[in-house]
Structure 1
């Protein structure tokens, strides 16, 4: 049972009680039943009516609401405070703090998570340092949208395609947790769609304009009734970019809905289509970063390099309740990607199609007086990749950009991924709970070599070692609102398709999955009458068969296993809610991570790097800020971010400088006659115009006497603003 304090326009107070998603509001003599998500009533203005009276109510959640949120991403749902793992919650309020151009900006504020933000389409994410040595994309981290994978089977993820307007909440499970989700050594990101928040039919339009030709338009429709909740949205985002050869344009259409046919079953559907055209300025050397950061890398500018793709995602999920303690959830899904990417060194054409299914059975029993919950299930995933490369003849056609020449390689991979999992939760008492789990994974693929111009035919069947991933965790409630936990978990990540192929298109058959074990202890608790919520986590991850990218040419890499790494760190979170004055609430917060990541055993080309710091990860990350909410509808957000020094390469021969950013945003909500609601908003990013590198390419190497191109410069000071209009029919 969750309890949330409320403020009423006439200064009376009441209580909202929540149980099973039902919120009962009592103000004076007026009882009302409402439906909201656990995070859905931040600064929510409601008009409560009956025949006798009308009251306007503003709802503000206490810090207690965060600790008592029931996590949806764990295989067995449990409250955040009762979960023996570090799970970061990204709420609707967190999303509102930024300019809404890219969801990774918000995710980058979670403790233990770091995102290299090279451009709107060039983002790579690491969790606790895992995935930091990836060159241009996010891998070792899995992501799901409403339990439908948006990652490839090996754990390569693109979050840029998911528009913030469709997301209500995200849950980030940090560290190896393959006992639940399979190949995700760094962790798992689960996104949950925004529902229609009121009964009836709504239509809204939102327009954002900003520096560097930024323009974003969103058109959204939603309908909710007793058995149906449906949301559809179209988004268009474009920008000229801060840098040369940095134009960006993305269109996406998303539909999400749920239909309850009876008390026993609920059908959910998700469909999304994305079309992207984004030019690539690429990375710069140190001198150019300092003196001409808006320029593009010369070869990328001359080739007018870009990436374009059409991408689709479709899934159905059905939950059936056999009884109060026994239910099944089954999902089927399909996605595709058709991509074309001219680079200075070649032109890459990729086609990918994936299908799969995931099912799990959950039931609870009383076992000799011990409350027990059990879940068992499986996930099957099949992917087809067709990759081909061609000569890029841009130098033969000056000023015309990339021109395709002869074929260089053509390969087809058919990957099969099987994941079987189980989890048991035991409540030995109200104070002590134990959680155990296990996962069995096997991944195999078939390669068809379609390039007949060389004498090497690498067609054949290949497979990675079958991996067993156990997990165990325990929670002890030291008091009603405070708990400590400890856990140990195993994780793995298989090599990506890009890592299994050399630049010449030949298969790299010597690679093994990267594996790791996470040891963790932590504390979660409320203070000061539940106005203050804190979390502290201490962890140690040992990674073996480290997959590294060895640079063999300009922007060309091959993957290989090399040594071990140790990831030791401390993460901290603090949220504090209090009233400044009548009708004004403040919420300061701090998220921080202090990282001690280094190579345990690592020798490369005869050079021993053991004991060196891991490149691509800041030594510390601190996000601090505050939110102001007022009864009249004026809201203000300030976000300060500090990133510490970051090694550039395995030898630690250089470091990316630390930097500090301050972003501000304000909004005003206004109800208009006739059922219209409007919001005006605006803000400024990087208010002090800090010059910094927002992303680095670890272990960059200079060729032809040129300096290494480590850096993607971050945007200078920039502005944005816009308006939203919503109508309730």
Structure 2
């Protein structure tokens, strides 16, 4: 409570100290900051009035490079690091949240078209989505549990492309290492409804052995205006994904031949021999109903179902899962006036349930061998939340929220052939979590606002941590607990078309879930231990240097983002070693991303992107670091229109222009010192897109 009072006091003091300066700035500016509306904490309001670290990424930024991956667009957001150890394998870190993720996306809650895309276990199959399924992304950094539940890292809200006309389009791209990509879309709009169909087919042989990728996605999204007060939306997604897992290399293997896959030995299969890969087919169906009940009360409800088959031959075993999940999310919005103060109450809930038939086998040359164990897994996750937004006098905006969260795992081991293991039921009901958040923003003008917030968060173990590949069940694991303190400011200088967003934060994490080597084989198990202190500064700027439709250079944009992260372990002991004070594993202290976009009156355009990533500690002992790298990427294209209805975009690009030797993702605390997952050297791509207005 004292810290909350202190936060409010700081904002009120800054109000008086900056008032004169703000008025002086306003007198010298022309125009206003672009009014970017964000969902945020279910506020659906201007970014300038949202107290929190929120970033909005449009489609042209997500797909502004080669359109085959989300990595390049989202890594432009300060504090965010998307790793890609294989073309179909993502790992998402927001402010270091991937510490406990040896693979997959964890500790971040993800939604797609209002549908919970994160499974009730806390894992997210983000690789099932293609860039064509994303119109924009909204990233909430830091705990967002007061609205979205589990996930200390934050939340990402994806929305697919919406139809705006009667139009069809096709695209094709080829590139190094056998890369082929084909896309098609069709959209139609009527007075009351619109529809869009997206299709993508992408394949690649990959730079390394066992680095192939085959992915097809098909999406159908509709929006129908039932009447003046009701809107119905549907989203259907089918994804067929098959990609190889080359595995990590030791430093010597990395230096000798970075294109090789993980070799085998007399005890463990190599990645090629084991056919280490992921083969997954998934179908997702969701429906949303938006209704204005009264002039002050409205409701938005989403229901969904998800069905997938998952197969994962690995160096040590072979997994086969059949997964079914479903649930929904509803929220009521009530707008009222408390005296002269505008107030919005948002209250609602989310429920998810899953049922997995999960079998683990021996891997015999890439095929299923003897059965190790057979589990039936049931998961239930639920949350209730209440959020209040109050527009206070003098352009202060207050947000306060609270959620109640439950999670239960029920595992029935039907068959086991493991030593010292018996069939039976294991159930883990985690303690209920009450997660609060309070934020306050002062808006000095249309071009300057200051915000601060304090929020709690939690992150329970995923099913992959609760039930590990080597068969153990971690009934003693508890949820990580975190508290985030944040202060930031954002604004613009409209006269010169320059905007900025700067945030400083302190995140304190306890009950940290960390990896430990297994006694049974060379996989990992997990345990709660220690804590972290995470200090950070994140800044993003955008400058439209040139804006003139009457000249050869019609526009020139420069975007810059920078992250400083001073993250360290506190009171952390592992295997008899004391790592207290060490740098947090997997986090670069400094990272910078700079991009330039040039458009000319002839239709020629040029995109350049530069990324600097500092050295990264790869183990908790801080004895192994990845080298810092400079990544330069370029794309040049030509856009032209034909016959008043046809548009063509031809482009060519080069990735890793400086031919750096680097890893776009590393294996942390890797068994056998296999830390390195080499990325491709200099490579190229080129493509063509055609759209026709009907």
Taking structure 2 as the reference length, the TM-score comes to: 0.92
Q: Is the counterpart of residue 277 in structure 1 residue 242 in structure 2?
A: yes
2:601 is aligned, of 612, 631, 646, to: 631
* Aligned equivalent of 1:339: 310
Structure 2: gaps of 5 or more residues: 1-29, 264-269
1:167 is aligned, of 134, 144, 151, to: 134
Structure 1: gaps of 5 or more residues: 1-61, 395-401, 703-707
1:248 is aligned, of 192, 204, 213, to: 213
Contact 1:469/1:491 (<8 A) preserved? yes
* Aligned equivalent of 1:682: 652
Shift of 1:345: 1.1
Q: Is the counterpart of residue 224 in structure 1 residue 189 in structure 2?
A: yes
Q: Is the counterpart of residue 211 in structure 1 residue 176 in structure 2?
A: yes
* Aligned equivalent of 2:498: 532
* Aligned equivalent of 1:102: 69
**Between structures 1 and 2, the one with greater helix share:** 2
Distance in structure 2 (CA, Å) of the matches to 1:113 and 1:304: 32
Q: Is the counterpart of residue 151 in structure 1 residue 131 in structure 2?
A: no
Given the superposition, is the C-alpha separation of residues 164 and 504 from structure 1 closer, same or farther in structure 2, using an over 3 Å criterion? closer
* Aligned equivalent of 1:27: none
Shift of 1:686: 0.6
* Aligned equivalent of 1:72: 39
* Aligned equivalent of 2:584: 614
Distance in structure 1 (CA, Å) of the matches to 2:547 and 2:149: 46
Shift of 1:258: 0.6
Distance in structure 2 (CA, Å) of the matches to 1:476 and 1:530: 24
* Aligned equivalent of 1:308: 279
* Aligned equivalent of 1:9: none
1:181-580 aligned within 5 A = 181-198=148-165, 201-298=166-263, 299-394=270-365, 402-453=366-417, 456-529=422-495, 531-552=497-518, 556-579=523-546
Shift of 1:554: 6.4
Shift of 1:392: 1.3
Instruction: Tell me whether 404-413 or 497-506 shows the greater mean CA deviation.
Output: 497-506
Shift of 1:347: 0.5
Distance in structure 2 (CA, Å) of the matches to 1:350 and 1:260: 39
1:117 is aligned, of 70, 84, 104, to: 84
Shift of 1:63: 9.9
Given the superposition, is the C-alpha separation of residues 671 and 555 from structure 1 closer, same or farther in structure 2, using an over 3 Å criterion? farther
Instruction: Tell me whether 552-561 or 284-293 shows the greater mean CA deviation.
Output: 552-561
Shift of 1:447: 1.4
Shift of 1:166: 2.6
Distance in structure 2 (CA, Å) of the matches to 1:72 and 1:569: 24
* Aligned equivalent of 2:626: 656
- SS for the counterpart of 2:255 is helix
Given the superposition, is the C-alpha separation of residues 516 and 459 from structure 1 closer, same or farther in structure 2, using an over 3 Å criterion? same
- SS for the counterpart of 1:451 is strand
Contact 1:431/1:478 (<8 A) preserved? yes
The Cα offsets for residues 520-549 of structure 1, whole Å up to 9 and x where unpaired, read as: 000010114261100110001111111112
Contact 2:32/2:494 (<8 A) preserved? no
1:91 is aligned, of 53, 58, 67, to: 58
Q: How many residue pairs end up in the alignment? A: 653
Contact 1:154/1:183 (<8 A) preserved? no
Distance in structure 1 (CA, Å) of the matches to 2:427 and 2:469: 21
Distance in structure 2 (CA, Å) of the matches to 1:225 and 1:429: 43
Distance in structure 1 (CA, Å) of the matches to 2:434 and 2:346: 17
Shift of 1:627: 0.8
Instruction: Tell me whether 509-518 or 460-469 shows the greater mean CA deviation.
Output: 460-469
Shift of 1:64: 5.3
The Cα offsets for residues 459-505 of structure 1, whole Å up to 9 and x where unpaired, read as: 04320110000000000012331000000011111111111114442
Given the superposition, is the C-alpha separation of residues 94 and 649 from structure 1 closer, same or farther in structure 2, using an over 3 Å criterion? same
Distance in structure 2 (CA, Å) of the matches to 1:634 and 1:422: 50
Distance in structure 2 (CA, Å) of the matches to 1:443 and 1:196: 38
Contact 2:414/2:424 (<8 A) preserved? no
Contact 1:411/1:451 (<8 A) preserved? yes
Shift of 1:636: 1.4
Shift of 1:336: 2.0
Distance in structure 2 (CA, Å) of the matches to 1:682 and 1:324: 52
Distance in structure 2 (CA, Å) of the matches to 1:228 and 1:63: 35
Given the superposition, is the C-alpha separation of residues 693 and 555 from structure 1 closer, same or farther in structure 2, using an over 3 Å criterion? farther
The Cα offsets for residues 639-692 of structure 1, whole Å up to 9 and x where unpaired, read as: 000000100111101211100001011222111116222111111111111111
Distance in structure 2 (CA, Å) of the matches to 1:164 and 1:725: 17
Shift of 1:555: 5.4
Contact 1:63/1:526 (<8 A) preserved? no
The Cα offsets for residues 183-204 of structure 1, whole Å up to 9 and x where unpaired, read as: 1110000001111232xx2111
Contact 1:103/1:159 (<8 A) preserved? no
Taking structure 1 as the reference length, the TM-score comes to: 0.87
Shift of 1:452: 4.8
* Aligned equivalent of 1:723: 688
Given the superposition, is the C-alpha separation of residues 728 and 413 from structure 1 closer, same or farther in structure 2, using an over 3 Å criterion? same
Distance in structure 2 (CA, Å) of the matches to 1:446 and 1:654: 39
Contact 1:491/1:516 (<8 A) preserved? yes
- SS for the counterpart of 1:180 is helix
Contact 1:104/1:160 (<8 A) preserved? no
Alignment RMSD (CA, Å) = 1.6
* Aligned equivalent of 1:592: 562
Contact 2:31/2:494 (<8 A) preserved? no
Distance in structure 1 (CA, Å) of the matches to 2:468 and 2:279: 22
Distance in structure 2 (CA, Å) of the matches to 1:191 and 1:644: 29
